[in-house]
Structure 1
Amino acid sequence: MEYSTDLGRRVLLTLAGVALLLVVGLVLSQFLPTLVFTVFLYYASRPIYRRLGRLPLPKSFLKRAVPYQKQVHAAATIFFFLLPFVVLVGYTLVLVIPELQSFFGEGGLGAAYLSQFQELQGGSPPGPLADLGFSEVLAMGPAEVIDLLRNATVQSWLGRVSDTLIGSLSLLTSLLLRVFIMFAGTYYLLTDGPRLVGWFLDTFDGSGVLREYAAAVDEELSSILFGNILNALVTGVIGIFVFSLYNLVAPGSVQIPFAPLVGALTGIGSLIPVVGMKIVYLPVAVLLAVSAVVTGQTAALAWVALFLVVTLVVVDTIPDFLIRPYVSGDLTHVGLLMFAYILGPIAFGFYGIFLGPMLLVLAAQFFRIIVPYIITGTVETTQTSLSEYDSGES
């Protein structure tokens, strides 16, 4: 009887734990894009964080900072690397979004919102307010103002203005909250992430297979997120500014159409194996050359050659040279990665370009490490371990 009571208690606790995990998962699912971006920022900033940990510090400072060394390094990484990076990417999006709206025509949602905003803020609302000047409104008496505000058309216009302001404030608040979650999550992943993973593995990994799986996933995510995707983002930002500067000095016949959009596509093209970003800028160069010949300005072909040389050196070679040495993972097939980059955004939206490769790595390493253990009961260990990846974080 005592055994049955203990077993029943354990079953109830198990059910309560499962219910708790479901509730936590439901809450976290509402912030899935934010969590995905947090993981990306963690892997993007971790090499910088580790390099800061290896820098020699003055002895006087080191004595005071040793208890908070990880916190100081994490805060410095976020402030000097992540914050400027996020601001730069945000500014880049501000440049690209109008290009997308122009490219897809004036019937898009952004153009419609802009038209409505201009109607609300342009100083020419419908109804009685359209016939009144600012000085006339100020000269009104209290009774006249009350009569004007009771007008149905004016009330409708004020309601739309109020809804627009409230919606904009709500959007800004939500955006700031998510940005705070991303930076705070990245900070705690840098300082306490390895300790949390170590506790989980020590508690639940009796066979060592989870440690092997975690090490392989960590290696591949570090390679993909810090190497490939960060390279694409940096390349896209450089491409946008280089192409925009080129348009400032190049003749009109060989200017790049939708330069910020082409720069962003160049960064995305760098994710494609073998051809890379050449699939974007080489057709653009051909288009510019054809435009110069058709318009009879053959001398402008020199500008096309300049475009090719600058793009090859500044956009194509330099980012790859600086970031590619950090790309060391080779466990995930490049063809599968390409499909993950393509299908991820289609399935999940913009953040799918990060979530797609994450899911691919988790699944691929599961079948490579966990499935053989399930079938044979043995673990094939490699020289890769989590301790190697956590070096420099203590």
Structure 2
Amino acid sequence: MEYSTDLGRRVLLALAGVALLVVVGLVLSEFIPTLVFTIFLYYASRPIYRRLGKLPLSESYLKRAMPYQKQVHAAATIFFFLLPFVVLVGYTLILIVPELQAFFGEGGLGAAYLSQFQGLQGGSLPGPLADLGVGELLTMGPAELLALLQNATVQSWLGRVSDTIIDSLSLLTSLLLRVFIMFAGTYYLLTDGPRLVGWFLDTFDGSGVLREYAAAVDDELSSILFGNILNALVTGVIGIFVFSLYNLVAPSSVRIPFAPLVGALTGIGSLIPVVGMKIVYLPVAVLLAITAVVTGQTAALAWVALFLVVTLIVVDTIPDFLIRPYVSGDLTHVGLLMFAYILGPIAFGFYGIFLGPILLVLVAQFFRIIVPYVITGTVDTTQTSLSDYDATES
């Protein structure tokens, strides 16, 4: 009887734990994009955070800051690296949105949103207000103003304006909250993430297979999120500014159409294996050269050559040279990774470019490490990849 009572108590506690996990999962499911971006920001900033910990500092500083060394380094990483990076990417997106609307024509989200405020413009005000000037409104008495506000047309217009303002404030508040969650989450992942993972593995990983799995996933995510995706973002930002500056000085016949959009596509193109961003800027160069020849301005071909040289050096080579040394993971097949970059945004939306590779790494390492352990009961610590099974070597 004592054993049964103890077993029943354990079952109830296990069910309570499952219920808690379900509730936590439902809450976190509302913030999946925010959590995905937090993971990306963590891996993007972790090399900087670790580099700060290796800086040669004075002994007096170390004595004062030792109890809070991790917190100071994490705050410095976020403030001096992560925050400017996010602001720069946000400003870049602001430059891209008008280009997208111009590319796809009128009727975009921006036009639809601005149409909510059409009533604020003089010609679109409701009849009773359109017939009055600002001076007449200011000199109205309380009775006249009340009668004007009781007009059905004016009330409908004011309702639309107030709804738009409230929606805008709600959207801004939600955005600021999610940005705060991303930065706070990144801060605590930098300071306490390794300790939390270590506690979990020490408590629940008796076989060592979870530790092997966690190490492999961490290495690959560090390679993909910090190396490949950060390289794409940096390349896109550089491309946008370089192409925009080029358009300021180049003749009109060889200016890049939709320069910010082409710059962003250049960054995305860097994710494609082998050809990379050349799939974007080489066709653009060919288009500019054809335009110069067709319009009879062959002298402008020198500007096309300048565009190619600057793009090759500043956009293509420099970001790759600075970031690629940090890319060390080679366990994820590049073809699968390419499909993850393509299918992720299609399946999940804009944040799928991060979530797709994350899911790919989790699944790939699960089959590489966990599945053999489930089948054989032993942990294989050898790091194998698809390249180890090349048919040409057998």
TM-score range, shorter chain: over 0.9
- Contact map agreement 1:289 1:301 (CA 8 A) in 2: yes
Other structure's SS at 1:392 match? helix
Other structure's SS at 2:123 match? coil
Specify whether residues 40 and 388 from structure 1 end up closer, same or farther in structure 2 by C-alpha distance, changes over 3 A only: farther
Specify whether residues 386 and 63 from structure 1 end up closer, same or farther in structure 2 by C-alpha distance, changes over 3 A only: farther
Other structure's SS at 1:328 match? coil
Q: Verify: 1:360 aligned to 2:360, yes or no.
A: yes
Provide the residue aligned with 2:225 in structure 1: 225
- Contact map agreement 1:215 1:384 (CA 8 A) in 2: no
Distance 1:70 1:82 in 2: 16
Q: Verify: 1:178 aligned to 2:166, yes or no.
A: no
Distance 1:385 1:357 in 2: 16
**1:309-345 per-position Cα deviation (integer Å, ceiling 9, x unaligned):** 0000000000000000000100000000000000000
Distance 1:317 1:191 in 2: 34
- Contact map agreement 1:211 1:386 (CA 8 A) in 2: no
Provide the residue aligned with 1:115 in structure 2: 115
- Contact map agreement 1:54 1:392 (CA 8 A) in 2: no
Q: What displacement does 1:296 show? A: 1.0
Distance 1:318 1:296 in 2: 34
Specify whether residues 341 and 385 from structure 1 end up closer, same or farther in structure 2 by C-alpha distance, changes over 3 A only: closer
Specify whether residues 244 and 118 from structure 1 end up closer, same or farther in structure 2 by C-alpha distance, changes over 3 A only: farther
Q: What displacement does 1:91 show? A: 0.2
Q: What displacement does 1:361 show? A: 0.1
- Contact map agreement 1:212 1:385 (CA 8 A) in 2: no
Q: What displacement does 1:197 show? A: 0.3
Provide the residue aligned with 2:311 in structure 1: 311
Q: What displacement does 1:108 show? A: 2.3
Distance 2:203 2:166 in 1: 48
Specify whether residues 384 and 52 from structure 1 end up closer, same or farther in structure 2 by C-alpha distance, changes over 3 A only: farther
Q: What displacement does 1:76 show? A: 0.2
Specify whether residues 357 and 293 from structure 1 end up closer, same or farther in structure 2 by C-alpha distance, changes over 3 A only: same
Distance 1:383 1:151 in 2: 75
The 10-residue stretch of structure 1 (337-346 or 125-134) with the greater mean CA deviation from structure 2: 125-134
Distance 2:244 2:324 in 1: 25
Provide the residue aligned with 2:294 in structure 1: 294
Q: What displacement does 1:62 show? A: 1.1
Specify whether residues 45 and 123 from structure 1 end up closer, same or farther in structure 2 by C-alpha distance, changes over 3 A only: farther
Other structure's SS at 2:391 match? coil
Provide the residue aligned with 2:203 in structure 1: 203
Distance 1:257 1:186 in 2: 38
Give the TM-score taking structure 1 as reference length: 0.96
Q: What displacement does 1:111 show? A: 1.8
- Contact map agreement 1:215 1:385 (CA 8 A) in 2: no
Other structure's SS at 2:11 match? helix
Specify whether residues 378 and 355 from structure 1 end up closer, same or farther in structure 2 by C-alpha distance, changes over 3 A only: same
- Contact map agreement 2:43 2:222 (CA 8 A) in 1: yes
| Percent of matched pairs sharing the same residue | 90
- Contact map agreement 2:116 2:164 (CA 8 A) in 1: no
**1:193-251 per-position Cα deviation (integer Å, ceiling 9, x unaligned):** 00000000000000000000000000000000000000000000000000000000111
The 10-residue stretch of structure 1 (290-299 or 336-345) with the greater mean CA deviation from structure 2: 290-299
Specify whether residues 313 and 17 from structure 1 end up closer, same or farther in structure 2 by C-alpha distance, changes over 3 A only: same
- Contact map agreement 2:289 2:301 (CA 8 A) in 1: yes
Specify whether residues 268 and 322 from structure 1 end up closer, same or farther in structure 2 by C-alpha distance, changes over 3 A only: same
- Contact map agreement 2:116 2:161 (CA 8 A) in 1: no
Distance 2:384 2:177 in 1: 37
The 10-residue stretch of structure 1 (118-127 or 41-50) with the greater mean CA deviation from structure 2: 118-127
Other structure's SS at 1:123 match? helix
**1:59-86 per-position Cα deviation (integer Å, ceiling 9, x unaligned):** 1111110000000000000000000000
- For structure 2, the residue ranges without an aligned partner over 5 or more in a row are none
**1:178-206 per-position Cα deviation (integer Å, ceiling 9, x unaligned):** 00000000000000000000000000000
Provide the residue aligned with 2:388 in structure 1: 388
- Contact map agreement 1:95 1:260 (CA 8 A) in 2: yes
**1:351-372 per-position Cα deviation (integer Å, ceiling 9, x unaligned):** 0000000000000000000000
**Any runs of at least 4 consecutive aligned residues in structure 1 with deviations exceeding 2 A, and if so which?**
107-110, 114-124, 382-394
Q: What displacement does 1:177 show? A: 0.3
- Contact map agreement 1:212 1:369 (CA 8 A) in 2: yes
Q: What displacement does 1:124 show? A: 4.0
The 10-residue stretch of structure 1 (35-44 or 1-10) with the greater mean CA deviation from structure 2: 1-10
- For structure 1, the residue ranges without an aligned partner over 5 or more in a row are none
**1:235-294 per-position Cα deviation (integer Å, ceiling 9, x unaligned):** 000000000000001111111000000000000000000000000000000111111111
Q: What displacement does 1:2 show? A: 1.2
- Contact map agreement 1:346 1:352 (CA 8 A) in 2: yes
- Contact map agreement 1:39 1:186 (CA 8 A) in 2: yes
- Contact map agreement 1:214 1:386 (CA 8 A) in 2: no
Give the structure, 1 or 2, with the largest relative contact order (CA under 8 Å, sep 6 or more). 1
Distance 2:140 2:113 in 1: 33
Specify whether residues 309 and 180 from structure 1 end up closer, same or farther in structure 2 by C-alpha distance, changes over 3 A only: same
Q: What displacement does 1:23 show? A: 0.4
- Contact map agreement 1:50 1:392 (CA 8 A) in 2: no
Distance 2:62 2:314 in 1: 39
**1:139-189 per-position Cα deviation (integer Å, ceiling 9, x unaligned):** 111110000000011111111110111011001100000000000000000
Specify whether residues 388 and 322 from structure 1 end up closer, same or farther in structure 2 by C-alpha distance, changes over 3 A only: farther
Distance 2:353 2:300 in 1: 38
**RMSD of aligned Cα (Å):** 5.2
Other structure's SS at 1:384 match? coil
Distance 2:216 2:123 in 1: 61
Q: What displacement does 1:117 show? A: 2.5
Distance 1:334 1:93 in 2: 28
Q: What displacement does 1:382 show? A: 4.4
Q: What displacement does 1:122 show? A: 5.3
Q: What displacement does 1:380 show? A: 1.3
Q: What displacement does 1:109 show? A: 2.8
Distance 1:147 1:155 in 2: 11
- Contact map agreement 1:53 1:392 (CA 8 A) in 2: no
